[in-house]
Amino acid sequence: MKRRAFLHRGTELAALALAAPAVARGAAPMTLRFAHYVPVDHPANIAAGQFAKRVEARTHGAIRIAIFPNNQLGDPPQEAAQIRAGVIDMGLPTEGQLDKYDKAFAVVPLPFVFNDRAEVFRVLDGPAMAWLAPLAERQGFVMLRNWDYGFRNITNNVRPITTPDDVKGLKIRTPPEIQIEACMEALGARVTPISFAELYLALSQHVVDGEENPIPVIYFNKYYEVQKYLALTRHVYNNMIHTVSLVTWKKLSPDVQQIMREESAAAGDLMRKLIGEQEADEIGKIKEAGMKVTEPDRAPFRARMGPAWKRVAAYAGEDNVKKFTAMVEAARKT
């Protein structure tokens, strides 16, 4: 009996060894650093936690992932640079960070190019991924999956926004991304760049009148504590892209790479679900906190975007803009 049990246990261990993917040929287990810039209770961090847990389980502990949220390893542009260099193994850059390395990425956040989230996902998961992923890899980034971030909206302390003219003269903080800067300036705002990590303090001290971000960012960073008005302009869609350093990617065996792609897709689906389900509730809580919320007609805002689109085309390339907008139009017809 003991011999039979021993042989049976040996068979189990052999099966586990065959099932556990190698980290790389002949390599020891490794811990990967996953950095991003949102708080721990944001859907992106929840999705990152699922990804880390499942990858560790499926690789039988060969891959462990340490998550560094809330700008712990640098602000978004710094994180992107560190991913490219292999100092950070993976993160969640937006196209606004990646367009510093290939201008084609600059077309995705075109102001008012998308109508809704379903349209966004059809484009970004389909033709845009097939186009942009190889460009990213040439620059040192491996795109695993488009996750989510959301449509950006304007908050301020001066007045409610119901028409484009209400934006005129407001001092608005934007990230250093030409699409968002051009959008706000086309509406007459005075754009001021401030580090994301310093934004809450800048708003509380009235260094700027307002800012613009997706609803989860506004909610989880508690900007409702230091802002009076929220306008649901949905002027630019921002997407977090689960991205791995090419330096790190080359250290992983094909079976581990496949596991990471599969679990990134599952985590991205979770994040999209959470953001879709929670946005209405977050807006309600923002109202309860005292902010006045308006939902302007987007058409007059979109009509002012001619100068912004020209600036983006000058930066990204007119051919890239035409290619991307053709993808969007095709998605609308499906």
Of residues 140, 143, 93, the one with CA closest to residue 246? 140
Q: In the 8-state DSSP scheme, what is residue 261?
A: H
Beta bridge partners of 174: 193
Of residues 30, 43, 55, the one with CA closest to residue 256? 55
Instruction: Measure the CA–CA gap between 280 and 274, rounded to whole angstroms.
Output: 11
Which residues, in sequence order, are CB contacts of 12 under 8 Å at separation 6+? none
- CATH architecture of the domain formed by 27-102+118-148+239-279: 3-Layer(aba) Sandwich (3.40)
Its CATH class, for the domain covering 151-237+281-332, is alpha beta
- pLDDT-based confidence at 28, cuts 50/70/90? confident
Domain boundaries in the chain? Answer: 27-102+118-148+239-279, 151-237+281-332
Domains 27-102+118-148+239-279 and 151-237+281-332 fall in the same CATH topology = yes
| Helix, strand, coil % over all residues of the chain, rounded to 5 | 50, 15, 30
- Residue with the bigger pLDDT between 28 and 76: it is 76
Q: In the 8-state DSSP scheme, what is residue 22?
A: P
- Residue 231: CA count within 13 A, CB half-sphere: 23
State both tokens at 228: 């009076």
The fraction of the chain above a pLDDT of 70, given in percent, is 92
Average pLDDT over residues 9-26: 44
Is the pLDDT at 99 greater than 90? The verdict is yes
Size of the chain in residues: 334
The structure's pTM equals 0.84
Strand pairing category for 292-294 and 229-231: parallel
Q: Which element (helix H / strand E) includes 132? A: helix 127-138
Coil, strand, or helix at residue 62?
A: coil
**Cβ proximity of 214 and 153 under 8 Å:** yes
Q: In the 8-state DSSP scheme, what is residue 70?
A: T
Per-residue pLDDT, 8: 44
Coil, strand, or helix at residue 323?
A: helix
Is the pLDDT at 225 greater than 70? The verdict is yes
Instruction: Measure the CA–CA gap between 38 and 76, rounded to whole angstroms.
Output: 10
Beta bridge partners of 35: 68, 91
- pLDDT-based confidence at 214, cuts 50/70/90? very high
Q: Which element (helix H / strand E) includes 49? A: helix 43-58
pLDDT digits (tens, 9 = 90+) for 263-313: 999 999 999 999 999 999 999 999 999 999 999 999 999 999 999 999 999
Coil, strand, or helix at residue 31?
A: strand
CA angle (118 as vertex; 179, 246 as ends), nearest 5: 60
Of residues 240, 226, 235, 239, the one with CA closest to residue 302? 235
